[in-house]
Amino acid sequence: MAHPAPRSSTSVSPASSIDDVRSEISYDSEEEEQRLAQQEWDESVQQLQLLLTVVVFPFFGKWLGRKWSHILFERYQTLGIGKRFWGL
């Protein structure tokens, strides 16, 4: 003969416990999505910084350096290295 299980006075209805679990899961998944999005953003920024420091800045530095050296050499050829070269 089976005895019925004793009921506690603080029983929780199954529907409310399922809702609580769903809200916890959705909260956790939103946090996880936000964390992953932030992580991807940080990686993208790091890749962009790497691109700038390895490719873009050296390219423009080389280009500006050559341009400036040609301008200075032309100025030296026309004015010499006297006071006029320095704009004095």
Q: What is the pLDDT of residues 28-66, one digit of tens each?
A: 788 889 999 999 999 999 999 999 999 889 988 898 898
Mapping DSSP onto H, E and C, the string for 35-63 reads: HHHHHHHHHHHHHHHHHHHHHHHHHHHHH
85: Cβ contacts below 8 Å, ≥ 6 apart? 75, 76, 79
| pLDDT one-digit tens code per residue, 62-85 | 988 988 998 888 888 888 887 888
